[in-house]
Structures are given as C-alpha cells and as structure tokens.
Amino acid sequence: MPDKTMTADEAVSRLRDGMTVGIGGWGSRRKPMALIRAMLRSGVTGLTVVSYGGPDVGMLAAAGRIRRLVAPFATLDSIPLEPHFRAARERGELDLMEVDEAMLLWGLRAAANRLPFLPVRAGLGSDVMRVNPGLRTVTSPYDDGETFVAMPALRLDAALVHVNRADRRGNGQYLGPDPYFDDLFCEAADTAYVSCERIVDTAELAKGGPPQSLLVKRHRVTGVIEAPGGAHFTSCAPDYGRDEEFQRTYATTPWPEFAARYLGGDEQTYRAAVGRRP
C-alpha cells in the first residue's frame, strides 16, 4: 500500500518554475497556507496561479513568484481588499486573467473532464471579454441558438489543497460547512498535494464524518502532508476559525518586515512566532 506522506518542503520541491498551480480554499478560508509558506522558502517562481484568491495570492504576489494570475477576486473576507494583490496590481506587475467566479469553476470542470472548454453564460457583455481578448464564444447548435463564452479548460500542473483529515494514501476529508472546490482542483491537476490537520488511519475517516465528507479521492493525490494549523491564518472549520488578529498584522505590516519576522524559518518557527502551540 503506497504511503504518500511527505513534508511540505518535499512537496514544494517537486514544483518547477513556470508551472501552472491551482490553490484550493476560497478567499481567506481553508487555504493551504503551510504549503504556501514552503513555496516562499523555496525558490520556485514564474508561476501561473489559479485561485479563488486570498492571502495565498497576496503572499506569492508580494514575493514576486507569480508570472500570471487567473482569478475572479482576491480578498481577506473580513478585510475586503487583499493588500499585496492590490499593491502588485497598482504597480502594474501582475499579469491577470480576470474571470468571473463561475467561469473559473467551469474552467476547472472542463479540465477535470478533459474537455477543451465548457459553455458558460457568464462573461458576455462584461469587460471580462475586453480584458481577455483570447476568450472565444460558442453558439448552441440547437433551436435556442444562444451564444455562450467557451470557457477554456484550466488544466493544472499541480494542485495544492488543505483539508481537515486525510489518510496516508491520499483520501481527504473536509469537516466544515463548505468543500469549496478542492476536489475539482485535484481532478484538474496532473499532481495534487493535500495537506491536512491530522493524518488518520483509513478506518478513522468514516468515523469522523459522513461519507459525503470524503472529498478528495486518493487516485488524484500525489502527496499527503500532515500540517496541523496548516491553514493558519485562514479559517479551517471546525478545527479553528480565522485568526483575525494575525490577519490584521499581515494586512498592515510592510511585506519585508512581515516576511522577515514570520517567514524566515520553517513551519515550527512560524508557529512559535505566531504564538501557536506546535
């Protein structure tokens, strides 16, 4: 039985410059932040990032690792505007494919189903079409004759997601109210790295929640990373809520100072610096 467990640094060492990387979660909710911190420690750069953006996007943008971003927004939820995403855009440094929330979903769904595109109604009439001149439309061959955006598949080289529980083979379980799109990110990717609050025996998964909480299937998973507090400072219900105070620190501290204070060492050092027990 293959054991896919690895450290965050081992997972990130498999990423290559220029890859297209999908990041799970939503805004400042259940983001794979321990994996993002490992990316910041590594030199990996020139990435195309696909994300319902939160501080994952902000940190990677602040560190200059994103060549191109595919996203409908970047927000910290309780703080509406993501400060580093915003700064990077206002400096004109961030190449952005700005798409609607539903377009991103259908782009992932197309990739997961190995389709070149899927038709979506969203985007027509809006400036999403102006700022993405490469987007094409498709007309229904049936009697309705309606025209849609042909949302291209967002095929990923790698997906990074964080869930509450996983076993060593890569079966991942969420225990909060919303799965977000983490299963879809894994299905749209050639490789997927799943960090979790706790690795448990396979038999424990079904005891921990109903079958429909078993979100990520092992056949799409390359690596499993045990990372307690691995979504910090985003929320990871029901294990913990968002660390609002630390998020405010992140949003108000100049990036070089924040990075030096919290991101210079390994994950243990980070946890000690933010005052969380290992």
Partner 1 sequence: MTEVTRAEHCVIACAEEWRDDGEVLASPMGVIPSIGARLARLTFAPDLLLTDGEALLVTSDGTVEGWLPYRQHLTLVTGGRRHVMMGASQLDRHGNQNISCVGPWERPTRQLLGVRGAPVNTLNNPTSYWVPRHSRRVFVERVDMVCGVGNDRAAGARYHCLRRVVSDLGVFDFGTPDRTMRLVAVHPGVTVEQVREATSFELAMADEVAVTRAPTPAELRLIREVLDPGNARAREVAG
Among 33, 40, 110, 122, binds partner 1 (CB under 8 A): 122
Handedness of CA 237, 240, 245, 247 (dihedral sign): negative
Footprint of partner 1 on 64-103 (CB under 8 A): 71-75, 80-81, 85-86, 89-92, 98-103
Q: Is 187 in the site for partner 1 (CB under 8 A)?
A: no
CA distance 183 to 171: 11
Binding mask of the shown chain, residues 147 to 176, with x at each position contacting partner 1 by CB under 8 A: x-----------------------------
Among 180, 185, 193, 233, binds partner 1 (CB under 8 A): 180
CB nearer to partner 1: pick between 86 and 169: 86
User: What's the one-letter identity of residue 106?
Assistant: W
Q: Which of 230, 227, 267, 273 is nearest to 250 (CA)?
A: 273
Q: Tell the smallest beta-carbon distance from residue 12 to partner 1 (Å).
A: 26
Report whether 68 contacts 49 (CB < 8 A): yes
Q: Which of 62, 38, 63, 60 is nearest to 49 (CA)?
A: 60
Report whether 245 contacts 27 (CB < 8 A): no
- Residue whose structure tokens are 């991101």: 263
Binding footprint of partner 1, residue count (CB under 8 A): 40
Q: Is 239 in the site for partner 1 (CB under 8 A)?
A: no
DSSP state of 28: T
Q: Is 276 in the site for partner 1 (CB under 8 A)?
A: no
Footprint of partner 1 on 22-61 (CB under 8 A): 26, 53
Q: Is 131 in the site for partner 1 (CB under 8 A)?
A: yes
CA distance readout (Å), 30 to 103, 162, 194: 21, 6, 12
Report whether 51 contacts 72 (CB < 8 A): no
Positions that interact with partner 1 (CB under 8 A): 26, 53, 71-75, 80-81, 85-86, 89-92, 98-103, 105, 120-128, 130-131, 146-147, 177-181
